[in-house]
Amino acid sequence: MKKGEILEFDIESYAFEGKGICKLPIEDNDELAEAGKKFVVFVNGSYPGDRVKALIRRKKRSYAEATVEEVLVPSKDRTEAKCSYFGICGGCKQQDLKYEVQAKYKEEQVRDIFERLGGFENFEMEPIVEAENIFFYRNKMEFSFADKRWLTKEEIGSEKEILDSNFALGLHIPRIFNKVLDLNECFLQSEESNKIMNFTRKFFKSKNATIFSTKTHVGYLRHLVIKQASHTNDLMVNLVTSSQNEEWMEEYSSKLIEVVPSITTIVNNINLKKGKTAYGDFEINYFGDGYIYDLIGDYKFRISANSFFQTNTSQAANLYKIALDYADLKGDEVVYDLYSGAGTISIYVSKNCENVYSFETVDSSIEDAHSNNILNKIENVTHIQADLNKSFLSILDNKQIPKPDVILLDPPRAGMNPKTVKDLIALSPSKIVYVSCNPTTQARDIKLLAEAGYKLIKVRPVDMFPHTFHIETVALLVRE
């Protein structure tokens, strides 16, 4: 086997992230062969039951990596992808795999991470909560502008002149950061979202608007972010630019509302930074009040352009219910909520405990959290600004905050900062309920907590993002 060869493989099992596995006898290493080892080929884009032709991309001593060139015999678990961009776009990864099989593999992945990578035993692995809606489930889509459009194989092979190659609005190709696939439709959000995206492209192309370049740091357009409530009729359009252009934004807003009259607010975030993020240094409202409102359970939440809110609202309700069940609050506890965002979990659990103290870094999220207290007439939740990449124990002393009985936390994909882990150990709550969008970093953090005397009791995955490799998990730890 050599790099660059195209070979046939029968796919036996599944390594997450779309990599089917084929195991072959080891013939050139007696030591490994005697140990019963197999040579493993990870074939990207394949599923168990496939027979494929695959291109060898990388060859190592005990494994190789390959990419499917042709499916010779498809697995019974395959299905036809709904989206014409599937396989090129960086959004959906498993749209050609039956949904119930996607969910099964996600559950298996979480178990494997905790057992094999985390080294945990004797914990309860609860069944995955499957998504009710597998299309149009996102309440937020973040599209990118690029001055280089991704060209299809047909375009590259055609002798015709390639038009509009210097203007694109859509999603990035995986691992390609300077080119964007120009989309006409996406099945992750809604039809209104597609109309907004297509109008935005047409409008700014007609103005010959420039697109921000991360190399030159010049250009006007950066991102289009659409937030859509699931339980109200609220719909936000947030155009992220590198500078102000009042004339364009006024015209854009008035014409966009005519095309999509269901829009309730239009915001222009101005991002002055060089990095490619969809957050602004300041914002200007051109229509509406700059917020949308949505419901989780019995509670209503205000969502601003830059604040965090769970991206799948219906599954967020399931996620929070599991977190509350794991916390098993009796009514007299002091609860901390770390990485609290707009205060959604804090407010959701507030009627089941005595007091909640929520800790969050982002200013706009703290502002939304205070507003959400007022919206829901909550009096026992206190929102505190804290940098959770540093120790926050001094804040507790300064504000004379009592120690927690239970800690809830939902950190970003990178997991907790080691200083935060040390703070949790020092606070010594009787229970920790850890919500995560990355079970690998979650298992890493829980292993540190286990070394300090906490026992992992149970874990439950929640599928927030069908057709992707992402999975949310809730874990319960109890102090021994």
Q: Which residues are catalytic?
A: 437
List CB contacts of 57: < 8 A, sequence separation 6 or more: 3, 64, 65, 66, 67
In whole angstroms, what is the distance from residue 394 CA to residue 392 CA? 6
3-class DSSP assignment, residue 259: helix
List CB contacts of 143: < 8 A, sequence separation 6 or more: 169, 170, 171, 183, 197, 223, 224, 225, 226
**What distances in angstroms separate CA 243 from CA 209, 271, 280, one per listed residue?**
12, 7, 10
In whole angstroms, what is the distance from residue 47 CA to residue 11 CA? 6
List CB contacts of 258: < 8 A, sequence separation 6 or more: none
In whole angstroms, what is the distance from residue 310 CA to residue 315 CA? 9
3-class DSSP assignment, residue 191: helix
Residue that the structure tokens 């062969």 belong to: 33
Residue that the structure tokens 């047909």 belong to: 154
Q: Which amino acid is at 470?
A: H
Selection from 21, 89, 98 nearest residue 52 by Cα: 21
Q: What is the DSSP letter of 149?
A: B
In whole angstroms, what is the distance from residue 115 CA to residue 372 CA? 39
Residue that the structure tokens 């995560």 belong to: 436
Per DSSP (E only), the strands in 275-419 are: 282-287, 291-296, 299-304, 334-338, 355-360, 381-385, 406-409
